[in-house]
Amino acid sequence: MLEARLAETKPSAFAVEGEATEADGVVDAWFTFETAVARGRGHLRLRKGKAWTLLTTMTELKGFEERKGDRRIKGAEHGANPERKTWLEKRDEEAKTLGFTEQPYVVIVGGGQGGIALGARLRKLGVPTIIVEKNARPGDSWRKRYKSLCLHDPVWYDHLPYLPFPDHWPVFSPKDKIGDWLEMYTRVMELNYWTSTTAKSARYDEAAGEWVVVVERDGEEITLRPKQLVMATGMSGKPNVPEIPGMDVFRGDQHHSSQHPGPDAYKGKKAVVIGSNNSAHDICAALWENGADVTMVQRSSTHIVRSATLLDIGLSALYSEEAVNSGVTTEKADLIFASLPYRILHEFQIPLYEQMKERDADFYDRLEKAGFQLDWGEDGSGLFMKYLRRGSGYYIDVGASDLVADGKIKLQNGVVDHLTEDAVVMTDGTELPADLVVYATGYGSMNGWVADLIDEATADRVGKVWGLGSDTTKDPGPWEGEQRNMWKPTQQEALWFHGGNLHQSRHYSQFLALQLKARSVGIDTPVYGLQEVHHTK
C-alpha cells in the first residue's frame, strides 16, 4: 500500500508533539504531520527501539478548515447593507429550499447519536446535509426505550463532538436526559434535521452520480437527490425477532425488546424474557421491581461484568475523572484507544478481565450456583472485544445479576420450542406460563436496512456490517482488521455506514465527515483497496 500511495499522499512535516514518555520498556509519542491535502495527528509506540504501533489520523483538509477559534465567523455583519439577511431569515430560507430547490450533498438516514454527530461535523465543514429521522423529536430513539434505561457507558466516554457535557453531568445518563441533550444539540448545531420523516426507498442513479431517495415527511412524499447516502440507522437498529411456532396463538403481549414499553402494565403478571444480554437483564429487573413474576430464558452463555468494576479496571485509564485530571482529554483518549490495532487489542484486554474475574469472584460464584452460564469471550478478552466483534453477548451489571443469583428473577436455560396460548414451552417440555413474552433476541446486521431501503442485491453486494473477522462466535473470518463497512467506502458507490455507541459516533464521525467533505470539494480520493465481502449477514 505504501508503495502504491506514498508518492501521491506526500506525508511530510512530522513533528513530535510534547515530550515522549517511557514506561515498561515502551516509548509513547504524539506527533503531527501533513499530507498533500491534509493535516493530521498521530501516535507512536516504540518497543526495543523499533516501531511497535503507529496511528495516523486526519484532523483537517487544507483550505477547508473548520471555522472555529480565531477562524470563527463574525455572526453580525457590520456596516450597512440593504440586502442584509438575518441569521433567522437565512435559517428559514435554508429550511425552505434544502431538499426542494437545492439538493443536499449528503443524506443521513437515521437521527440518533450517530446521525447527529456526523451531521454536526458536516455542518461545521459546510457540507449541505439533511438528516432523516422517523421520530417526532430528536432524542426519541432514546426516550422510547424501556423507562429504566440509563447509559451503561460513563459520561467521559459519551461526549458528542464540539459540545461536551457540562462538569456536573451524571456518570450514567438516564435515557430521557440524553434524549433532551440530543434534541438541544441538534438545535444549537443548526442541523437540518427532518423529524417524522421515513426513508421509503433509495436507488443510485449511476449516470447522474447521485442517489434518488424517496422520503415521506409528515405524510408528504419528497424526493431527495444527494450525492452521498449514509446509513446511520443503528448498529443495534434492526430487531432480530425469532420465528417460534405458536407466536400466532399466544394471547398475551409479545414484542421485541426494542418495542418494550417498560414494566408499568405488568404488575402481578407473568413475564418471560427470552435472551440474557443487556436489554434482557434491564427489562427483567424493571419488571421484577414493578411486581411482575419474571423468568429469563438463557439460550447461550453470557459475559457479565459489574459496572463499577468495568469503570475501575476497564475504562479509568482513558475515560474517567482521573484521566481528565491527568491530561487525557476525550480526544486523546479516543486516539490512544484507536492506536492499538484490533489485531493485538485482545492482548491488552485479557489481563484486565482476569483482574475483574478475581475481584468479583464471589459474585460470579453466586451466579453460577444459580445456574447462570457465564463466559468471558472465546479468548477471555471480555466486553470491548465482544462489542467490536459481534456487538452482543454481554451484560454490564447494574443490579439484575443479584436478582438472578437470588432467584428473584427466575432462570431457565435451554431452547424455546413453541408458544401456547398462555405459555412458553422449552424443548425439554418445561412450560413457562406467560402473560408477556419479550424477545430480547438482539439485532441484525445493518445491511438489513439496505435490503429494505435499496434492494437485496445491494445489501448482498455490500455484505455484513460490523465485526472484525475474528473467527469467533457471530464474527466469522477471514480477518478484516477493521470494522466491516463502517466509516469507509463500501462495495456500493457513495453508500456509507455510520453509528455505534457515543464514543464511536463521536470519534469516527470525524473521519467519515472528512471523507465526505473531500469528495464534495473534488479532492482526489482514490480508494486503495475495498474490502472483499465474505458474508451477507
Footprint of a second copy on this chain (CB under 8 A)? 66-70, 72-76, 78-82, 84, 86-89, 91, 124, 147-148, 150-151, 155, 162-163, 166-174, 176-177, 180-181, 183-184, 187-188, 285, 288-291, 307-308, 321-322, 398-400, 402-403, 408
Nearer to a second copy, 12 or 81 (CB): 81
Residue closer to a second copy, measured from CB, 50 or 78: 78
Instruction: Name the minimum Å distance from CB 92 to a second copy.
Output: 10
Q: Which of 260, 239, 352 is nearest to 305 (CA)?
A: 352
Q: How far is the CB of 152 from a second copy (least distance, A)?
A: 8
Other CB atoms within a 10 A radius of the CB of residue 52 amount to 13
Residue 140: CB minimum distance to a second copy, A: 13
Where does 331-398 show beta strands of DSSP type E? 394-397
CB of 465 to a second copy, least distance (A): 29
Instruction: Find all residues with CB under 8 Å of 494, minimum gap 6, and list them.
Output: 204, 209, 210, 211, 227, 228, 229
Instruction: Indicate the residue among 190 and 253 with the shorter CB distance to a second copy.
Output: 190
Conformational region of residue 143, where left means phi above 0, alpha means psi within -120 to 50, and beta covers everything else: alpha
Least Å distance between CB 175 and a second copy? 8
- State how far the Cα of 172 lies from the Cα of 258, in Å rounded to an integer: 20
Question: 180 or 216: whose CB is closer to a second copy?
Answer: 180
Q: Which cell goes with 103?
A: 439538493
Give the separation between CA 198 and CA 427, rounded to whole angstroms. 40
Q: Compare residues 72 and 369 and give the one whose CB is closer to a second copy.
A: 72
- Other C-beta atoms closer than 10 Å to the C-beta of 21 total 10
Sole residue written with cell 434534541? 183
Distances 250 to 133, 296, 427, 432, 487 between C-alpha atoms, Å: 33, 18, 17, 12, 42
- Whose CA is closest to 349, among 398, 308, 389? 389
Distance CA 182, CA 139 (A): 5
**What's the first-to-final CA gap in the chain, in angstroms?**
29
Residue 402 vs 482, nearer CB to a second copy: 402
Closest CB to a second copy among residues 92, 205: 92
Q: Least distance (Å) from a second copy to the CB of residue 90?
A: 9
**Minimum Å distance from CB 161 to a second copy?**
9
Per-residue H/E/C for 18-59: EEEEEECCEEEEEEEEECCCEEEEEEEEEECCEEEEEEEEEE
Least CB distance to a second copy at residue 63 (A): 17
Q: How far is the CB of 189 from a second copy (least distance, A)?
A: 8
- Closest approach of a second copy to the CB of residue 308, in Å: 8
Least distance (Å) between residue 310 CB and a second copy = 12
Instruction: Determine contact, residues 507/113, Cβ cutoff 8 Å.
Output: no
Report the residue number, 48 or 168, with the smaller CB distance to a second copy.
168
Q: Which is nearer to a second copy, 394 or 466 (CB)?
A: 394
3-state secondary structure (DSSP) of residue 121: helix
Q: Could you tell me which of 522, 514, 527, 523 has the C-alpha nearest to residue 37?
A: 523
Query: Is the backbone peptide bond immediately before 478 cis, with ω within 30 degrees of 0?
Result: yes
- Nearer CB in complex with a second copy: 54/184: 184
Distances (CA, A) of 525 to 8, 97, 345: 11, 29, 29
Of the pair 218, 321, the CB lying nearest a second copy is at 321
125 CB-near residues (< 8 Å, 6+ apart): 64, 66, 513, 514, 517
